[in-house]
Homo-oligomer: A and B are copies of this chain.
Amino acid sequence: MHFFFYPFISETLIQFEEDESMHLKVLRANEGDEILVINGKGDVAKAIIQSIAKRFFTAQIILIERHIRRNTGFHLAVAPLKQMDRIEWMLEKVCELGIEQISFIETKRTERDKLNFERLNKIVHAACKQSKNFWFPEMPAVIERFDTFLNAHEAHTNLIAYCGGEFSGIEQKLRADSSTLILIGPEGDFTDEEFNLATQHGFKGISLGNTRLRTETAAIYATAAFKFVNAY
C-alpha cells in the first residue's frame, strides 16, 4: 500500500506536484484509481484520480481520516556526521521508529557545517510514508549552534548522552508518557564545557551502555528506547 503526499488536504481538488506525479506514473496509476494521500499532519485521505494532464496528476478526495498525534513527543538533537550516507540512514531509521522533532546541532567537534535539507526532507517524507507515520517530524532547515539550541528547547525529560563520566543508563532515566529531548554528540563526543552547559540547562547525563556506539547508532538507539518505553 503506497501513500502519496500532498500538503493541503481539504475538500478541493488535489493537484500533485512533479515528484508525486512521477511516483504515480511509475506505479502506473490511471484515471478512476483509488489512492491514499497524506499531508504529514495526521490526515489520510482516500482520493480518486481525476485526470493525468501532461505529467501532472489530479485527484478528488472522497474521505478524510484524521490521526491524532501521540501525546508525548520525542525530540532528537544530533550533531551531523561527516559521512552523508550515515546521516541519511539515521534519518530514515528514526522516522520509521517514530519521532516528533529532529534538530541538527553544531558542537565544537561537529565535522560538518552544511546539510542539504531539501534532500533530507525527501528522506523524511519517504520513510514516514513507507512506515505509515502520518505525522511527519519537524526538522528545522538549519544547523543550530549548541548554545542557541539549549536556550530555545526543552522537554519534560531532558537527557544528554555523554561518555565523559559515570552516568545511569538510559533505561533508568527514560519515562513513559513524558515528552523527551535527547542530545547526541558528534564522533569524539561533546566537550566537557558543552556537557556542563547542558547540565546548567537541566539536562541529565546518561550512558547508552557498555559498548561504543557511533553517532548514528546512538541516535537510533535513543529513538528505539523511547519507542520501547512508550510501547508505540
Q: Contact between B97 and A217 (Cβ–Cβ < 8 Å)?
A: yes
Minimum C-beta distance from A110 to chain B (A): 20
A70-97 vs B, CB cutoff 8 Å, 1 = contact: the mask equals: 0000000000000000000100010011
Minimum C-beta distance from A127 to chain B (A): 9
Asked if A116 is at the interface of the complex by the 8 Å CB criterion, the answer is no
A interface, how many residues as a size bin? 20 to 34
Minimum C-beta distance from A174 to chain B (A): 9
Partner of A232, one of B131, B133, B210: B210
A:125-143 near B, CB below 8 Å: 130-133
Asked if A209 is at the interface of the complex by the 8 Å CB criterion, the answer is yes
Q: Contact between B231 and A169 (Cβ–Cβ < 8 Å)?
A: yes
CA distance in complex: A117, B90 (Å): 25
Q: Contact between B221 and A97 (Cβ–Cβ < 8 Å)?
A: yes
Interface set of A (CB-CB < 8 Å, partner B):
89, 93, 96-98, 130-133, 169-172, 209-214, 217, 220-221, 224-225, 227-229, 231-232
Q: What is the count of identical protomers in the complex?
A: 2
Could you pull out 28 A-B pairs where Cβ atoms are within 8 angstroms?
A89-B89, A93-B217, A93-B220, A96-B211, A96-B212, A96-B213, A96-B214, A96-B217, A97-B221, A98-B210, A130-B212, A131-B211, A131-B213, A131-B214, A132-B210, A133-B211, A169-B231, A171-B228, A171-B229, A171-B231, A172-B231, A209-B227, A209-B232, A211-B232, A220-B224, A221-B227, A224-B228, A225-B228
A170 contacts which chain B residues (CB < 8 A)? 228
CA distance in complex: A1, B172 (Å): 28
CA distance in complex: A224, B217 (Å): 10
